[in-house]
Amino acid sequence: MKRSPAIRKTSAVPTCSTERVRASQEPSFIGPLYPQRAGRHLTRMPFSLALLLIMLTSTAVRAQAQAVPEVTALEPELEALYRNLHEHPELAFHEERTAETLAKLVRELGFEVTTGVGGTGLVAILHNGSGPTVMLRTELDALPIEEKTGLPFASKVSTRNAAGMVVPVAHACGHDLHMAGWFGAAKIMVQRRGAWHGTLMLVGQPAEEPTAGASAMLADGLFTRFPKPDYALSMHDEPSLPSGQIGFHAGLFRASLDSVDVAIFGRGGHGARPQNTVDPVVIAARAVLGIQTIVSRETDPLSPKVVTIGSIHGGTGGNTIPDEVRLQMSVRTYDSKVREQILASIKRQVEAEARAADAPTMPSFKVVGGTDPVYNDPVLVSRLVSALRRELGTDAVREMPAKMTSEDFSQYGRAGVSAVLLHIGAVNPVILASGTKPPDLHSPFWAPELKPTLGALVSAEVIMLMELLGTRPPGAP
Nearest to 139 by CA among 406, 462, 417, 466: 406
Task: Please tell me whether residues 117 and 234 are part of one structural domain.
Answer: yes
CATH classification at residue 291: 3.30.70.360
pLDDT of 72 > 90? The answer is yes
pLDDT confidence of residue 23:
35
Task: Please tell me whether residues 346 and 448 are part of one structural domain.
Answer: no
Task: Please tell me whether residues 265 and 132 are part of one structural domain.
Answer: no
pLDDT of 446 > 90? The answer is yes
| Residue 26 maps to a domain | no
- Mean pLDDT of the region 346-374: 96
| Residue 451 maps to a domain | yes
| Residue 405 maps to a domain | yes
Task: Please tell me whether residues 350 and 383 are part of one structural domain.
Answer: no
Domain that includes residue 113, residue range? 35-255+375-469
Nearest to 200 by CA among 468, 472, 424: 468
- Mean pLDDT of the region 318-324: 97
| Residue 208 maps to a domain | yes
Name the band, by pLDDT with cuts 50, 70 and 90, for residue 59.
low
| Residue 66 maps to a domain | yes
Task: Please tell me whether residues 152 and 77 are part of one structural domain.
Answer: yes
Confirm whether pTM is higher than 0.95.
no
pLDDT of 315 > 60? The answer is yes
What is the Cα–Cα distance from 234 to 387, expressed in whole angstroms? 16
| Total residues found in the chain within this entry | 477
CATH classification at residue 88: 3.40.630.10
Name the band, by pLDDT with cuts 50, 70 and 90, for residue 43.
very low
| Residue 17 maps to a domain | no
pLDDT confidence of residue 103:
98
pLDDT of 343 > 80? The answer is yes
3 state DSSP class of 464: helix
Q: What total number of domains does the chain contain?
A: 2
Instruction: Measure the CA angle with vertex 55, ends 53 and 56; round to 5°.
Output: 65
pLDDT confidence of residue 1:
45
- Domain closes at, from 323, 350, 371: 371
What is the Cα–Cα distance from 397 to 391, expressed in whole angstroms? 10
- Domain closes at, from 371, 400, 419: 371
What is the Cα–Cα distance from 420 to 374, expressed in whole angstroms? 8
- Mean pLDDT of the region 42-49: 53
Task: Please tell me whether residues 262 and 156 are part of one structural domain.
Answer: no
- Domain closes at, from 371, 401, 418: 371
Nearest to 150 by CA among 8, 31, 251: 31
| Residue 6 maps to a domain | no
